[in-house]
């Protein structure tokens, strides 16, 4: 019997309706469209405004989009992973609620948190369940409501982040398509440069911390930028070398959408033509765990069976890595 590989066989997505443009941000903080566009590549981002709706709302919508498109019975889904840095609430699993709401009543489920690398690490995890031969339908959702911990008076962060969700289905493949190789890394000495300090177990929320805005995300942008550029390019090079791939063998680069300059630097390092680089940062900003599946959703009609896709991500922690995947279908 041939080796079982884990292939992506369907994609779904959802972004909230409200569009926060650079022009609107100009009225909120001391910034301008020209600065945001040239420094980040972002023009607008989506924000989930509805009170009481959290990350699970986005995750459910993305999963429902996939279920409808693929025409699957949610009862056949065996595992639901929600990759997220902004779970609905503490203690209660966002994935369990999501799975029940989409009708995946026979599935077990869990959240996976690795900041902006959550979806990438989720791909690795989902694939292992399939490759083991024990599971045949694993739903991986990347969803984040970043607006829940962004300070809209801090121009260093509020211009970057947006809300959104994407979902993929992993199934076994016997033609050798799907996940081929991965190179995943982390370095905890980086956590001081990108974090929301209060509200977790180290520093539970206090009235004083709340008044000082310590529950919001803080980012030392320059340091994170330098580390992202170096490490994302480094892992992309490593995964190509390890698999004897040249730039001509690569059909697409699907890189985490944090800053267009970081994506360009990664593409330049592997000498990839611009038209092979997936890019939608201008529409959504940095949606953390949702950037990679939103790219797959937006580019799905261009992808062909057998295409070599190089995924790369970098995020808080620090966490980062690269995955080499062969696309499994024509749409
Ligand atoms: O997804 C997780 C990983 N995150 C990332 O990968 C993000 C990495 N970092 C970045 O993308 C960039 O560092 C930022 C977009 C956050 C900032 O860009 P930068 O080129 O590193 O700018 P900077 O922080 O060095 O600031 C340059 C100047 C400063 O002014 P002075 O000191 O030169 O006078 C800032 O005060 O730009 C100023 N500035 C702004 N100006 C207008 C900072 N933010 C803004 C703003 N609008 N929003």
d(CA 245, CA 307): 13
Exposed, middle or buried by CB within 10 Å (0-12, 13-18, 19+), for 271? exposed
Q: How far is the CA of 40 from the centre of ligand 1 (A)?
A: 9
Identify the residue whose C-alpha is closest to ligand 1 atom 8: 225
Testing ligand 1's pocket by substitution, the residue of 43, 117, 144, 225 carrying the most ligand atoms inside 8 A of its CB is 225
d(CA 21, CA 162): 11
Domain membership flag for residue 91: yes
Residues 63 and 129 in one domain: yes
Residues labelled catalytic: 116, 256, 286
Take residue 228 and report the two structure tokens written for it.
């992202």
Q: How far is the CA of 227 from the centre of ligand 1 (A)?
A: 14
Residue 1 pLDDT: 57
Other CB atoms within a 10 A radius of the CB of residue 309 amount to: 22
Which run of H or of E encompasses 148? none
Domain membership flag for residue 26: yes
The three-state secondary structure class of 10 is strand
Exposed, middle or buried by CB within 10 Å (0-12, 13-18, 19+), for 26? middle
Identify the residue whose C-alpha is closest to ligand 1 atom 29: 156
Residues 269 and 151 in one domain: no
| 117, 148, 176 - which closes a domain | 176
Supply the DSSP string of 75-139, one letter for each residue.
GG--EEEEE-SS-SSSSS-HHHHHHHHTT-TT-EEEEE-BTBTHHHHHHHHHHHHHHTTS-S-EE
Domain membership flag for residue 136: yes
Domain membership flag for residue 88: yes
Residue 175 pLDDT: 95
| 161, 176, 191 - which closes a domain | 176
Residue 312 pLDDT: 98
Helices and strands counted in the chain (H then E) = 11, 13
Residues 201 and 146 in one domain: no
Q: Check if the beta carbon of residue 142 is closer than 8 Å to that of residue 293.
A: yes
Q: What is the pLDDT along the chain (331 residues), one digit of tens a residue?
A: 578 999 999 999 999 999 999 999 999 999 999 999 999 999 999 999 999 999 999 999 999 999 999 999 999 999 999 999 999 999 999 999 999 999 999 999 999 999 999 999 999 999 999 999 999 999 999 999 999 999 999 999 999 999 999 999 999 999 999 999 999 999 999 999 999 999 999 999 999 999 999 999 999 999 999 999 999 999 999 999 999 999 999 999 999 999 999 999 999 999 999 999 999 999 999 999 999 999 999 999 999 999 999 999 999 999 999 999 999 999 8
**Hey, which residues does 185 pair with through a beta bridge?**
320
Nearest CA among 32, 40, 34, 188 for reference residue 114? 188
d(CA 119, CA 288): 9
Domain membership flag for residue 288: yes
Residues 165 and 183 in one domain: no
Residues 26 and 97 in one domain: yes
Residues 158 and 271 in one domain: no
Residues 230 and 125 in one domain: no
d(CA 186, CA 184): 7
Domain total in the chain: 2
| 115, 148, 176 - which closes a domain | 176
Residues 155 and 14 in one domain: yes
Q: How far is the CA of 159 from the centre of ligand 1 (A)?
A: 10
d(CA 257, CA 286): 6
Q: How far is the CA of 157 from the centre of ligand 1 (A)?
A: 9
Domain membership flag for residue 293: yes
d(CA 74, CA 103): 6
What is the domain range of residue 321?
Answer: 179-326
Q: Check if the beta carbon of residue 181 is closer than 8 Å to that of residue 323.
A: yes
- Ligand 1 pocket, CB under 6 A: 31, 35, 39-40, 116, 155-156, 159-160, 221-222, 224-225, 228, 258-259, 262, 286, 314-315
Residues 167 and 248 in one domain: no
Testing ligand 1's pocket by substitution, the residue of 29, 43, 156, 281 carrying the most ligand atoms inside 8 A of its CB is 156
The atom of ligand 1 lying closest to the CA of 40 is 15
Residues 37 and 77 in one domain: yes
Residues 134 and 35 in one domain: yes
Identify the residue whose C-alpha is closest to ligand 1 atom 42: 31
Residues 21 and 60 in one domain: yes
The atom of ligand 1 lying closest to the CA of 115 is 2
Q: How far is the CA of 41 from the centre of ligand 1 (A)?
A: 12
Domain membership flag for residue 331: no
d(CA 87, CA 311): 24
CATH code, domain carrying 108: 3.40.47.10
The atom of ligand 1 lying closest to the CA of 224 is 8
Q: How far is the CA of 175 from the centre of ligand 1 (A)?
A: 45
Beta strand spans in the chain (E): 5-14, 18-21, 44-47, 79-83, 108-112, 138-145, 163-173, 178-186, 194-195, 218-219, 252-255, 308-315, 319-326
The atom of ligand 1 lying closest to the CA of 288 is 1
Residue 3 pLDDT: 87
Domain membership flag for residue 22: yes
Testing ligand 1's pocket by substitution, the residue of 37, 40, 221, 318 carrying the most ligand atoms inside 8 A of its CB is 221
Residue 2 pLDDT: 73
Q: How far is the CA of 222 from the centre of ligand 1 (A)?
A: 7
d(CA 215, CA 153): 13
């Amino acid at each position: 019997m041939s080796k079982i590989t884990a292939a992506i066989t369907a994609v779904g997505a959802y972004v909230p309706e409200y569009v926060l443009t650079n022009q609107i941000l100009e009225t909120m903080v001391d910034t301008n469209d020209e600065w945001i566009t040239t420094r980040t590549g972002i023009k607008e981002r989506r924000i989930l405004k509805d009170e009481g709706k959290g990350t699970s709302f986005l995750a459910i919508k993305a999963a429902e989009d996939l279920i409808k498109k693929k025409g699957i019975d949610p009862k056949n889904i065996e595992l639901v992973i929600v990759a997220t840095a902004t779970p609905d609430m503490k203690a209660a699993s966002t994935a369990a609620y999501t799975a029940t709401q989409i009708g995946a009543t026979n599935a077990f489920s869990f959240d996976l948190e690795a900041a902006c690398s959550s979806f990438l690490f989720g791909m690795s995890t989902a694939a292992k369940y399939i490759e083991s031969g024990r599971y045949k339908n694993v739903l991986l959702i990347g969803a984040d409501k970043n607006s829940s911990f962004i300070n809209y008076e801090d121009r260093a962060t509020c211009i970057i982040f947006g809300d959104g969700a994407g979902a993929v289905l992993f199934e076994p493949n016997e033609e050798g398509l799907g996940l081929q190789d991965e190179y995943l890394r982390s370095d905890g000495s980086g956590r001081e440069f990108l974090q929301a300090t209060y509200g977790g177990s180290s520093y539970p929320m206090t009235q004083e911390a709340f008044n000082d805005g310590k529950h919001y995300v803080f980012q030392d942008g320059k340091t994170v930028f330098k580390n992202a550029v170096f490490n994302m390019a480094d892992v992309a090079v490593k995964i190509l070398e390890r698999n004897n791939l040249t730039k001509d063998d690569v059909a697409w680069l699907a890189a985490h959408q944090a800053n267009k300059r970081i994506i360009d630097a990664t593409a330049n390092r592997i000498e990839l033509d611009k038209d092979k680089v997936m890019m939608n940062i201008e529409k959504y900003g940095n949606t953390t765990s949702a950037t990679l599946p939103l790219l797959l959703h937006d580019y799905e009609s261009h992808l062909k069976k057998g295409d070599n896709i190089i995924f790369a991500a970098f995020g808080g922690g620090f966490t980062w890595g690269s995955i080499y995947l062969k696309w499994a279908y024509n749409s």
